[in-house]
Amino acid sequence: MCPTLPHLFVRHQKQLLTAAVTLLAGAALQAQPIIVPNYSFESQTAPTSYPYVNVNIDSWQKTAEPAYYGPAIGTPYGIPWIGTAGVFLDVNPYVNHLGSQAGYILGFPQVTLFQDYNSSPTHDFNATFDVGKSYILTLGLFGKNTLAPGSTFQISLYYRDNQNNMVTVGATTVTYSSDLFPTTGPLNLVDFSVNVPTVLAGDTWAGQHIGIQLLSTTPLQLATGGNWDFDNVRLTAVVPEPASLGLLALGATGFILMRARNRR
């Protein structure tokens, strides 16, 4: 027996909805990589002899020395504040690092590397929080076993308000443990991400310049002089593809028509 026209209509709508959902699942989003200056910490160049460290680092800025540090901390450890962050030659390389260098931050409170449009004299990093896009920041990170258990590290995206204050939009905090960062076998940087949902026109960060911050949030009582190593900063904007939006509308229309037909 041949199917009736109403049955054909319902079947057609079901097929349309299924096809739309299938295509949306595979092609609904488009990733747009955003280049972060000195994302692999290859500049400035670290020396090829011990301690393989350069405290000067291009594109990334450091915060001013906090009051707690000074001689009380710097002298016993033999590390001036400027030396608490920088780049190093990865002589015992992480398997998944890029280039020949990586960045480091020592596990003292407030040790920071950051960059945004306003922090660079050349304004190299000119990305903005655009309406309709979501953002993913990813960093390859490793906590060395010289850190105390419970030491913490924060990765964040921010913007600057009218008073030039950094306002956090999204952040991820990593807590050191030997299970999370095993030292057996070849060392691998572990990826951690910050996700910012789709920017809406009413969001205070909409249209503002994006800032990236890497920050040691380890409490002073846990500070050991151990370090966090990191590499390969990746920032991605994610936008819906126009074709996928059309499919979503088409599928939704079919679904509504199908439900209306079934209710008769």
* pLDDT digit string, tens, across residues 193-209: 999 999 999 999 999 99
Whether the model clears a pTM of 0.75, i.e. scores above it, the answer is: yes
d(CA 177, CA 173): 13
Contacts of 28 (CB under 8 A, 6+ apart): 240, 241, 244, 248
Q: 74-86 burial by CB neighbour count: b if 16+ within 10 A, else e? A: beeeebebeebbb
Work out the mean pLDDT of the chain and round it to a whole number. Answer: 86
Q: How far is CA 37 from CA 126, 212, 226, in A?
A: 10, 11, 26
Q: Within a 13 Å sphere around the CA of 85, how many CA atoms are in the beta-carbon half?
A: 23
**Tens digit of each residue's pLDDT (9 = 90 or more) over 61-91:** 999 999 999 988 988 888 999 999 999 999 9
Which amino acid type is present at position 47? Answer: P
